[in-house]
Chain A
Amino acid sequence: MGLNGLYNLASDAMQANSFALNVTGQNISNASTPGYVRRSAILETQVAGDVTYGGVQATGIHRAFDQFTQARLYDATGLSSSADSRNGALASVEALFNDTGGTGLAAPISALFSSFSALAANPSDTTTRANVLSAASNFAQAMSSTSASIAQQRADMLSQAQGVASEINGYATQIAQYSVQITQAQNAGQDASDLLDKRDHLLTSLSQDVDVHTATDGQGQLVVSVAGSTLVEGGVASKLSVSTDSSGAMTLLSQQGNGPLTDVTSHLTGGKLAGLKEARDVDAVAENQKLDQLAYDIGSAVNTQHAAGYALDGSTGHDLFSLGASATGAAATIAVDPSMVGHPELVAASSSAATVPGGSDNAVALGNLATAAIANGGTQTAADAYANIVGDIGLRKAAAQQDSDTRGALTSQVQAMRDSTSGVSLDEEMVNLSRYQSAYSAASKLFSTADALMTELLGDVKP
């Protein structure tokens, strides 16, 4: 190996180290870029035939990426964001039953029964009778407006889920585009680190919306499946949409190209969609059913007792509330019976026509319903049944909060694991910077040494 070889050695070393410096520069620049994966230059000894040459070359860039940790991050993010969105959605349902905060139904229920007791004390007084009608109307109003609020919140959750679905479709299209570009770059022998970073970052964003699983197909293309169906395969993205079924429950539909819609709701396990689905179709529905039952139980118990009594004109058989035949939808539709509105004289305080107007036995019986087991199949008082609703929504919201906290902490841990592998450490980069800089300086010294030797050599051969 001659003096010329030394020149080449120094040149290779300077090239390789300046490449490594460039990579270090990329890391420093992107230290706080979301989704950026730390890179390092791959430096190798250069092989020239079967003789030892001793040169160095940079053969590429290594991405410090761990597929396993990344998959766990998708899972954890999906579960955490599911709990977060359920927790957020339930906060507004809970607010409807917050009696300490001044909302809630305890007051109108108490006021209804209390108006009957006041009637018993003074059955012939028109004001007292009118007060019964107004308490009944307030009670019905409170029931139906609470039920309407739950319905409105369920509608909001549905449109929120529809927004999430279109966000998912946007991500899917972008992921498919990046997949195509990545394949092109790799086929052309170029480094695709930037594109991979962007695609992985999109996948992490996607995992906030829905549960995400990734795999590679036979052609080496990325396959993204969400809610048990393929969302992206290579450069092809399918579409998700959110709709409702005949019972009003939220459904998630997947469509490949222009193919048929497939219902994949049952496979949905994570992300905002799963949280919204649970809050909307499990939690809110349960509270609404309990509310319906309570409205129906109170309404029918009061109606039965009221119909047994006698009005000031001696007539009997009046219902105080208009109420459907079953509990379904009772809270939404309960109202003071139209025939009673504006007719306080029809309030039935007496238990016989003969004891009108001062007889109060029926009013006493109506008032006694406050402490009678009239709710949930005759097992609870109305107040107990309402307390159960409060306790139930409280438990659901508390569980959602708990889930949100635990899963959030888990996600932070997985994120830390991911950052431990893939995150940039500026300390490390500082060391690398010095290392490659020194190596570069040394290489240039090598070059100047070789040059000095050559000059000396040429000086000797000068005539």
Chain B
Amino acid sequence: MRISDAMQTNGIATSLQSMESQYQNASQVAASGLKINAPSDDPVGAAQLARVQASIDQTTTYQNTITSVQGDLTLAESSLASASDVIASVKELALEASDGSMTASARQSMATQVAQLQSQLLSIANTKGTNGYIFSGSQTNTAAFSDTGTYQGDNVDRTAEVGQGNTAVVNVTGAKAFTAAGGIDVFATLSALQTALSNNDMSGISASVSGLDSASSQISVAEGDAGIKLDRLSTASTAHQQTQLSLASEQHGLASADPAQAYSQLTTLQNALEQAIATSRLTLSTLSANRFQ
């Protein structure tokens, strides 16, 4: 083949350009630490990366939801525990008042104590969490009980999405914990005891003791229910942490360049480029040598 000067110089320019473009790509990978700097670098990988990112975002959303509802549910659980304590104190008073040797005036003063405990219970039942009144069902802007102990909320379970296809109930309604809907009306029981103490009504007092037992177990059941719901949330949360770890590792595998490989690739290309430049210089100096002496 006949070789012209233009062929040689064009050839050198083309091959240097192609090597420089490879070097440029490799240095971008090494500098950014990413294999995929644009979708066209690896279309299938880029699409997969977008899906993985969406899953990571979704899992983060579930985690945020869990964190956000856990607070109020924990508050509900501890409030119910306090409510149990109040009921236990009331029951102690009731048992004490059942003692036949007690005077009417002593019972009268006990009635006052019961009234105080009842108002304490009312304030517990009207606990407000970050998401409103926690025992009002869906009526989170309305206090669960009126001052007279009438339930103002509803018996609606509030839900949140804590995992894919995993919709959890995130409240315990005051209806179940404190009203006849759960078995016995706690506030009415306390009012009855108060009336019986005021009226020195021995049979009324002993009747309310068994009512208090029922109230205590009803509140304990509600407390247990809150605990179970919290367990479910933390189970879901643990699962999400695992998922996030594996998603993050998949994302890393898809997107990140192996630093050692990226660096050695860059070094290889750099050496190749340097040698090509040296060789080209030699060829060009032959071409440019004065051949017309």
Contacts and interface: CB of A to CB of B under 8 A. Distances in A.
Interface string B19-49: 0000000000000001011111111101111
A100 B139 contact: no
A246 interface: no
A146 interface: no
Interface string A387-415: 11011111111100100000000001001
A95 B37 CA distance: 10
A127 B13 CA distance: 62
B61 A100 contact: no
A350 interface: yes
Contacts, number: 209
B206 to A, nearest CB: 40
Contact of A358 (B10, B36, B138): B138
A38 interface: yes
Most buried by B among A94, A110, A355, A391: A391
Q: How large is the interface on B (under 10, 10 to 19, 20 to 34, 35 or more residues)?
A: 35 or more
Interface in A189-236: none
A110 B4 contact: no
B79 interface: no
Interface string B250-287: 00000100000000000000000000000000000001
B198 interface: no
A160 to B, nearest CB: 21
A461 interface: no
Contacts of A386: 50, 54
A94 B39 contact: yes
A386 B51 CA distance: 8
A425 B5 contact: yes
Interface stretch (B100-108, B151-159, B235-243): B151-159
Contact of A387 (B50, B62, B69, B154): B50
A419 B3 CA distance: 8
A350 B5 contact: no
A120 interface: yes
Interface stretch (A111-119, A178-186, A335-343): A111-119
Interface in B49-72: 49-51, 53-55, 57-58, 60-62, 64-65, 68-69
Contacts of B227: none
Given A122-B68, A394-B43, A419 B4 contact: yes
A364 B138 CA distance: 14
Contact of A118 (B64, B138, B291): B64
B3 A390 contact: no
Nearest to A64: B2
Contact of B43 (A95, A109, A391, A420): A391
Contact of B4 (A101, A364, A398, A423): A423
Interface of B: 1-7, 9-11, 14, 34, 36-44, 46-51, 53-55, 57-58, 60-62, 64-65, 68-69, 130-132, 136-141, 154, 156, 158-161, 164-165, 167, 170-171, 255, 287, 291-292
* 9 A-B pairs closest in CB distance: A423-B4, A394-B39, A391-B47, A394-B43, A383-B54, A358-B140, A397-B40, A110-B57, A355-B138
27 contacts: A32-B9, A94-B40, A104-B50, A106-B53, A110-B61, A114-B64, A117-B64, A118-B68, A120-B159, A121-B65, A123-B140, A354-B154, A355-B137, A355-B154, A355-B156, A357-B139, A358-B140, A381-B54, A387-B48, A387-B51, A392-B43, A396-B40, A397-B43, A419-B6, A421-B2, A424-B4, A424-B6
Interface of A: 31-32, 38, 94-95, 97-101, 104, 106-107, 109-111, 113-114, 117-118, 120-125, 350, 354-361, 364, 367-368, 370-371, 381, 383-384, 386-388, 390-398, 401, 412, 415-416, 419-427, 430, 433
